[in-house]
Structure 1
Amino acid sequence: MKRTIKMGAAAFAAGLMLTSCYSYTTVVGKGAQGHQEVKKWNHYVVFGLAPVDVSDAKEMADGTQDYTVTTKHSFITGLVSGLTFGLYTPTTTTVIK
């Protein structure tokens, strides 16, 4: 019985350590020319398959022609997804102008 508990604990710890954060970056025009950031959460349901409210990077750039867009799953959004068992899966979009 003790061995099963130890193996379960080891598997759980390995699962926590082997997780990663998804990140996707797009450069528009010449890319970010400054350090001004605008962040917004994107809301998805059913493991990210159905979008509910997704940010518009062009609108977040507020008319700027050169900017960088990064969309990612961070630790916090992954935690929220895990706590809801994947029913609600947010991501974060960051626009750097």
Structure 2
Amino acid sequence: MKRQFYSLLMAGLLLVGTSSCYTYQFSVGNGAQTGATVTQKNHYLIYGLAPIGTSDPKQMANGAADYDVHIQHTFVDGLLNMITFGIYTPTTTKVTR
């Protein structure tokens, strides 16, 4: 009984720890027109408080006037965050022209 309780507790903690996926999305101009996508990682320390390297959506759009930007914590980003106990917190930026 005790072993089953701990198994359920660990499964619940894993589920709660990986369930939230931060997503931020916005459009510039009229939004994506051609469907060309560029993806880049952003690197942060201490739960995102200290940026090491961030992407520039304007540069990723390669001069396009209309594009969509989608910034999110993917499953892999969350996994890396969990493994490092929040010391390293990556995000993924996707720009669609």
Q: Would you say same fold, with TM above 0.5?
A: yes
Q: CA deviation at 1:14?
A: 1.8
Alpha-carbon distance in 2 for matches of 1:17, 1:34: 37
Alpha-carbon distance in 1 for matches of 2:9, 2:22: 22
Select the residue among 14, 18, 29 that pairs with 2:12. 14
Alpha-carbon distance in 2 for matches of 1:48, 1:6: 35
Task: Give unpaired runs (5+ residues) of structure 1.
Answer: none
Give CA deviations for 1:52-71 in whole Å, capped at 9, x if unaligned.
10000000001000000000
Alpha-carbon distance in 2 for matches of 1:95, 1:27: 10
Alpha-carbon distance in 1 for matches of 2:73, 2:5: 29
Match of 2:50 in 1: 50
TM-score using structure 1 length: 0.91
Alpha-carbon distance in 2 for matches of 1:76, 1:68: 22
Give CA deviations for 1:56-89 in whole Å, capped at 9, x if unaligned.
0000001000000000001001001111111000
Match of 2:26 in 1: 26
Identity over the aligned pairs, expressed in percent? 44
Match of 2:72 in 1: 72
> Which amino acid letter does the alignment assign opposite residue 37 of structure 2?
E
How many residues in Structure 1 have an aligned counterpart in Structure 2? 95
TM-score using structure 2 length: 0.91
Match of 2:91 in 1: 91
Root-mean-square deviation (CA, aligned residues, Å) is: 1.1
Alpha-carbon distance in 1 for matches of 2:34, 2:10: 42
> Which amino acid letter does the alignment assign opposite residue 6 of structure 1?
Q
